[in-house]
Amino acid sequence: MSDHRPPAIFVADALGLDFLNSIATPATTTIDWLADGEGLLAWLEQAALVPPEVLARLREQAMPGELDRVAAQARDLREWFRAFVRHAGGRALRAADADDLQPLNQLLARDEQFVRLSATAGTAGGGLELRTERRWRAPESLLLPIGQALAALLAEEDFSQVKACQGPSCTLLFADHTRGRARRWCSMALCGNRAKQEAFRNRAKSAH
C-alpha cells in the first residue's frame, strides 16, 4: 500500500505537528501515511527520525504483522496527541497541562538513549565529540523518536501560535513562525494558491 502513497507532507515547521499531518486530505482524498508498517517506515525515513540502516534491520527482523501493530500504536499516539492539541492549541501551555501528558511521559521513559565519544566528522586534524545514540531493540522502539519530537514541540514551541490551515477542506496544522504571526495556509503551493485562484475567480465574476 505504501508504494502508492505520495511523499509525506512536511510543512508544519515543527516535526511534532508534521506527525499529526501524517494523515491529511491534500486534494480530495484522505491519505494516511501510517496506515501500515511499511508506511510508518517510509514516514520515519522521510522525517529523518530513524537511520535508514536501522529501518532496514528492523524490517528484516520483525515478525509477521509486527510492524503493522507498531503502526497501529503510532496512529493511536497521533490521535491522542491531536486531541490534546485541539484542547490546548491557541493558548500558552500551563503547568497543569502536564497532568494530561502522562501517556507521552510513559513513552519517553522507555527510551534507551546514550551518549558516546566519537571522532569529529569533517575536521582536518581530527578531534572528539559527544554523540547521542539510541538502542533500537525492537520495532516498538520506532515510537521513541516520535515521542521525542512531540515532547520537543511541547517544550519549545509557543502553543498560542499552533494553527490550523484556513483551507476549507484542509486538515493540516502548523507552527506560525512568520513575522507578525500572519500565516494562514499550510503552504502557498497547496492551499495558498487555491485561495488566490478562488479570489481571482470571485473578482472576475463580480466584474461582470
- Residue 101: predicted pLDDT: 96
**If 0-12 CB within 10 Å is exposed, 13-18 middle and 19+ buried, where does residue 114 land?**
exposed
Taking only the tens place, the pLDDT of each residue in 153-204 is: 999 999 999 999 988 888 899 999 999 999 998 987 778 666 455 544 555 4
- Residue 126: predicted pLDDT: 74
At 43, give phi and psi (nearest 5°): -65, -45
In three-state secondary structure terms, 60 is: helix
Higher-scoring residue by pLDDT: 147, 188: 147
- Residue 5: predicted pLDDT: 84
Query: What CATH number is attached to the domain comprising 44?
Result: 1.10.3300
> Is 46's pLDDT higher than 50?
yes
pTM of the model: 0.87
- Residue 207: predicted pLDDT: 52
Angle at which helices 66-88 and 143-156 pack, to 10 degrees? 10
Taking only the tens place, the pLDDT of each residue in 68-78 is: 999 999 999 99
Residue 196 within a domain: no
Residue with cell 485561495: 195
> Is 58's pLDDT higher than 60?
yes
Residue 43 within a domain: yes
- Residue 200: predicted pLDDT: 42
Question: Which of 38-42, 60-64, 86-90 has the lowest average pLDDT?
Answer: 86-90
- Residue 85: predicted pLDDT: 94
Taking only the tens place, the pLDDT of each residue in 110-128 is: 999 999 998 887 766 678 9
Report the C-alpha gap between 33 and 189 in whole angstroms.
20
- Residue 198: predicted pLDDT: 56
Report the C-alpha gap between 16 and 4 in whole angstroms.
24
Residue 204 within a domain: no
Contact 17, 89 (CB under 8 A): no
Residue 70 within a domain: yes
Residue 188 within a domain: no
Residue 205 within a domain: no
> Is 105's pLDDT higher than 90?
yes
Domain count, the chain: 1
Residue 19 within a domain: yes
Residue with cell 495556509: 185
Higher-scoring residue by pLDDT: 169, 60: 60
User: The dihedral of CA 46, 47, 48, 52: what is its sign?
Assistant: negative
Instruction: Identify the domain containing residue 114 by its residue range.
Output: 2-183
Residue 46 within a domain: yes
Question: Which of 2-6, 41-45, 56-60, 170-174 has the lowest average pLDDT?
Answer: 2-6
